[in-house]
Amino acid sequence: MESNILSNQKLNKNVDIFVYSHKPFKPLVKNHVYKVLTNSHAESKEFDTDLAIYRDYDGDNISDKNLMYNEYSGFYWLWKNYPLNDYIGMNHYSRYYTCLDKVPDINEIFKKKRIVLNDPVKLVWNGRRYNNRTWYEEWHNVKDFDLLKDIIKDLFPDYIDGWEKMENSPVCYNSSMFIMKKDDFLEYCNFIFPILDEIRIRRGFYNSDDCRKWVEEHKEDYIRDRHLYYNVEMQSRIVGYLAERAMNTYMYHNGDKSFENNASIIGWANVGK
């Protein structure tokens, strides 16, 4: 599924979009703007693709914390190692943007938009409507959510307005997918990584095993019979789940109108082999 516009007009030479994956997969696009970024779980695996391949365990990296940080170990690698282009993006091996097909040039998007995000998820389950706090309380451990609030208040007190908008919103921009201008990406990294580090410090998470042990020791706060999919392994991704809420906070603080959604997800199916 290749972008018609991007395949016919090689206009977007100033953007790199990384497809993040932990295993070999068949890319839905074969265009020069897309690159594969893998983590240490795929270290011994071969990728059958013509796309350029980068690995988040080379150079300055936190790939050993991937089970906690999820995509953010990839973000960190880009921040610290990659020669950033004018625009930088991230999507997943099973989720791709469609927005680039709608305009002839990435620069056209950013004449009016500051960032491209995936479609927001409406927080509804079993006919009940939620906001971000009550949703987190339903599916995870709300004590972690409140810890994130305390950390943002301590490290970035000016962002409390963004936090309050995020907390009360009935939608959430999940998956940590984006396309940003280089300067915005650098600013975002300087915001998000001190927060993620502080979560680990205050919870005592120094490696992925610590996170798993924490969940196992506090199962009553994390595991619910009505949500069996969210087992110990899934709930051990605490830092990654909180990172999504911090990204929403960052977005709302910087003006939700300039962050208006301009992307959609192309399916959630596992397309890896």
pLDDT tens digits for the chain (273 residues)?
Answer: 444 444 434 677 888 989 888 877 777 776 778 888 988 766 656 776 777 789 999 999 999 888 888 889 999 999 999 999 999 998 888 777 766 666 567 787 788 777 877 778 899 999 999 999 999 999 999 999 999 999 999 999 999 999 999 999 999 988 888 888 999 999 999 999 999 999 999 999 988 789 999 999 999 999 988 887 788 888 988 999 999 999 999 988 987 554 544 443 443 333 434
**pTM, full prediction:** 0.88
Q: In the 8-state DSSP scheme, what is residue 213?
A: H
Q: Which residue do the tokens 């972008």 mark?
A: 3
Cα separation values, 209 from 65, 158, 174, 203, Å: 10, 34, 25, 13
Distances (CA, A) of 169 to 2, 105, 115, 224: 34, 32, 19, 24
Q: Rounded to an integer, what distance in angstroms lies between the CA atom of residue 246 and that of residue 105?
A: 30
Hey, what are 196's tokens?
Answer: 């993620």
